[in-house]
Amino acid sequence: MMSSSSVIGSSGSTFNPSGVGLENGNLYGLPHDYDTAAIIVFGVPWEVTVSYHTGTAQGPRRVLEASPQLDLYDLDNPDGWRQGIFMPSIPAHLLALNQQVRESANRVIQATEEGVAIANQPLLQADLDSVNHACEQMTGWLYAQTTAALAQGKRVGVIGGDHSVPLGYLQALGERYADFGILHIDAHADLRQAYQGFRYSHASIMHNVLGLPQVSKLVQVGIRDICHDEVSLINHAEGRVITYYDPALKEKGYQGIPWLSQCEEIVANLPQQVYVSFDVDGLDPKLCPHTGTPVPGGLELEEVFCLLRQVIRSGRHIIGFDLSEVGNGEWDGNVGARAVYKLCCLMGL
């Protein structure tokens, strides 16, 4: 007899959420396809501008591989899996383009670290131009994919790749929402302008996002590795950017201020519609040790989940998300898969 919690999958087979995780090519082994899923999760294998550790281009694959190992009962949304979650094939052409231009990016990165003026070196300028053009191609691809999914009434998540990845998706959301805020979890503020000459650098994503007038608030949490220019931008943003530095959050905890109270304060800064941009280096590095730019300190995963729950408790809505900088490691993929599932379940509430 079929369990009351079982469903008939898109292929006609019976799916039992309490059964063994299926290796069927979809996230969490769920029985959905693009047409039947309410949430589409795009994997973007991209790390062209990373300046420290490589490996995050394999993040989407690692999350996908780890996902069938998760049990599907979510305490916040026990039936969250029923809304349908589908991950299209990770685009091989983007991975190939990523690998193709990494050599050019490496030459530019090395030159800037040696103090070489790129504009005075025609060959290096050509390298820089090719990288910027490739990043535009990736951004355009994601914009097109997410625009099409949103037009069909889907909700969308994105798995990177480095943190430059979600710009195209945010551009698409900007065409659908006149006003929304970003809850940004990260070790870095990512507010540098064209870091190392790369207009679409992973270190420049939030600087680029502020160019979208629809983004009325950028609320950053867990920041602990930041430069003087970024602090100046924050201090002169007239409240559009609000940054909660990790040392200050921990100091409040040492003073006995509960984390839930801090979450309430953080979320109160956000508008009704909230996009979550979650760089896993915002976590304690023990959780995702192969992330591109690890920094000591950071949040526990359950602390992030508590913060995300407060978004929902406050009556706000999560309209989309990205999970970025998952490294090329089995444990990193496991943690990443749990973060993506939680975000999907909360987005469905």
Give tens-digit pLDDT for 4-16: 466 655 554 689 9
Collapse the DSSP code of 138 into the 3-class scheme (helix H, G, I; strand E, B; otherwise coil) and give the result: helix
Which residues sit opposite 273 in a β-bridge?
A: 317
Instruction: Check residue 187 and give its pLDDT.
Output: 98
Condensed to tens digits (0 to 9), the pLDDT of residues 143-176 reads 999 999 999 999 999 999 999 999 999 999 999 9
Gyration radius from the chain CA atoms: 20
pLDDT by residue (tens digit) across 227-281?
999 999 999 999 999 999 999 999 999 999 999 999 999 999 999 999 999 999 9
pLDDT at 321: 99
Q: What is the pLDDT of residue 185?
A: 98
Angle CA 257–259–261, to nearest 5: 70
The CATH architecture of the domain made up of 34-347 is 3-Layer(aba) Sandwich (3.40)
Q: Which of 284, 271, 319, 59 is nearest to 164 (CA)?
A: 59
Question: Tell me: the pLDDT tens digits for 21-57?
Answer: 888 999 999 999 999 999 999 999 999 999 888 999 9
- 27: nearest Cα among 346, 287, 309, 345: 345
Residues of the chain above pLDDT 70, percent = 96
pTM attached to this predicted model: 0.95
Alpha carbon of residue 168 to chain centroid: 12
In this predicted structure, the answer to whether residue 317 has a pLDDT above a threshold of 90 is: yes
| Dist. CA 82–CA 63, nearest whole Å | 20
* Lowest mean pLDDT across 87-91, 118-122, 128-132, 245-249: 118-122
State the Cα–Cα distance between residues 242 and 250, nearest whole angstrom.
Answer: 17
One-letter identity of residue 244: Y
What value does the mean pLDDT of the chain take? 95
- What angle (nearest 5°) sits at the alpha carbon of residue 273, between those of residues 268 and 275? 95
Three-state secondary structure of 51-111: CCCCCHHHHHHHHHHHHHHCCCCCCCCCCHHHHCEECCCCCHHHHHHHHHHHHHHHHHHHH
- DSSP SS3 for 270: coil
Token code pair at residue 301: 């995963």
The CA distance from 52 to 340, in Å, is 24
| DSSP helix/strand/coil, 129 | helix
